[in-house]
Amino acid sequence: MSIFKTAEAGEVKAKQLSKEGCKVTLAVEATPALVAKSFQNAAVQVQSRAQMQGFRAGKVPLDLVKQNFGGHIKERALDLVVKAAITGALEETKLNPVTVPVLTKGDFSSFSEDKSFSFEIAVDVAPEFDVKDYKGIVLTKKTETATDAEVQENLERVLDANARLETADDGAVVDDKCYAVVHYKGKRNGTEDYKLSADSELIDMAAPQTMPGLAEAVKGMKKGDSKTFETKEGEDTLSFEVTVDEIKNKVLPKLDDSFAKDMGFDTLDALKAKVKESLDAEAKQNARRAETAEIEDHLVKMNHFDLPQSLVDEYTESSLRNFVTSMTRMKPEQLTAEQRKSFEERIRPSVEKDLRVGYIIHAIAKKENLEATEADWKAELDKSLASSNGNKAEEKKIKTFFDERKAHIMATLSERKVFDFLKAQAVTK
């Protein structure tokens, strides 16, 4: 950490050279006074770590430090000057960067203790725009209840999840609808491969298989039948000897009061009512999401402005790393240039849309005076505390979370206010 956080008045001069989109280029000059002060502070900092024979660490006289560690002092002074001057320049120009400013130009060879130091920085700032066309958004009316067909489909899925397998009658053959229990041994290019062997493997004949050709080979076979077959895997030839041990059929339970009781309900009607209630809640939630998506699409379409590209790059990289880590077995560093480019092209549009929506929502909140207040934050905290049912340890966790995440929670509450406002102003057709 620097000894001082910023420069004093008059120690930094800043001038805006250009602005393209959200990128501002500033010319920054650190005066001789700031440079001299930075060299002094740098010398003291280097002294605190300096070691020389005959002196304890950190106790080397300052004049000897300057004689023997001049390069270290200059390097540290340059770092102090640049940081202090950038902070002072941002204060002077009243710019609020969205990412860390980047030093783009500077003659470091001319940096010395007795004269000023000038350089240029690039600063990405938030977009400036007048938000428009956010009242009276036309929304499509969404269905908020489940249909009888959807209820029946859900019940059939419940039946399927509670199905059982029964041994097929004697003489049954393997078909597309049954399950076959088999054992097999396999060879790869004529050599036995234990990875191609299995005992008592259950095959769902209606589902895709990982072992190529196996399901097709056993089709039409009866219990006890054996068969050899070959298939290809890339350039390899795989050969198998497979035997059908058993054939089973999936049997669904009957949809009646007895099944409903097994599921914890008094009657079939009670089960149907619960399914309907759950599906209605899901339909209502989906309708709210669809409404929000419609509003976001409209706002993005009607409000055009440049985004800070450094922020887009930063969020794209973060999203890419999260996506690759969670959805593949690879590490982001293992991606080829072509794979990285492909992922970025898929992720960037979503990142840009989310950023754009965020700026628009913030602008509406400011324009309509919908920003969250301390009272809103306190009400949300009280609501969460009420859910702890008096558990002191849980209450402490909630309070800590709300304190640590206050800015994020306030932003979320503001966003909620804005969307409530937009939906109230919208026209539903």
Q: Is 344 helix (H, G, I), strand (E, B) or coil?
A: helix
Q: How far apart are CA 203 and CA 134, in angstroms?
A: 56
Strand ranges, E, within 6-53: 12-20, 23-30
When pLDDT is cut at 50, 70 and 90, the band that residue 6 belongs to is: low
* pLDDT tens for each residue of 295-320: 999 999 999 999 999 999 999 999 99
Which phi and psi (to 5°) does residue 82 adopt?
A: -60, -45
User: Is the confidence at residue 179, as pLDDT, over 50?
Assistant: yes
CB-CB contact of 333 with 179 (8 Å): no
Higher per-residue confidence, 56 vs 314: 314
User: Is the confidence at residue 31, as pLDDT, over 70?
Assistant: yes
Q: Range with the lowest mean pLDDT among 159-163, 175-179, 205-209?
A: 205-209
* Residue 211 CB neighbours (<10 A): 18
Q: How far apart are CA 7 and CA 429, in angstroms?
A: 59
What counts of helices (H) and strands (E) characterise the chain? 12, 12
Q: Range with the lowest mean pLDDT among 25-29, 69-73, 121-125?
A: 69-73
* pLDDT tens for each residue of 232-274: 888 999 999 999 999 999 999 999 999 999 999 999 999 999 9
User: Is the confidence at residue 413, as pLDDT, over 80?
Assistant: yes
Can you give the pLDDT at residue 1? 35
pTM of the model: 0.76
User: Is the confidence at residue 2, as pLDDT, over 90?
Assistant: no
Which phi and psi (to 5°) does residue 378 adopt?
A: -65, -40
Q: Range with the lowest mean pLDDT among 47-61, 156-170, 234-248, 412-426?
A: 47-61
Name the residue among 194, 218, 192 with its Cα closest to residue 205: 218
When pLDDT is cut at 50, 70 and 90, the band that residue 3 belongs to is: very low
User: What is the arithmetic mean of pLDDT over 336-362?
Assistant: 94
Q: How far apart are CA 47 and CA 73, in angstroms?
A: 9
Residue length, the chain?
429
CB-CB contact of 103 with 315 (8 Å): no
Quote the distance between the C-alpha of residue 137 and its chain's center: 29
When pLDDT is cut at 50, 70 and 90, the band that residue 212 belongs to is: confident
Residue 352 corresponds to which tokens in the numbers above? 């840009």
How confident is the prediction for the chain on average, in pLDDT? 93
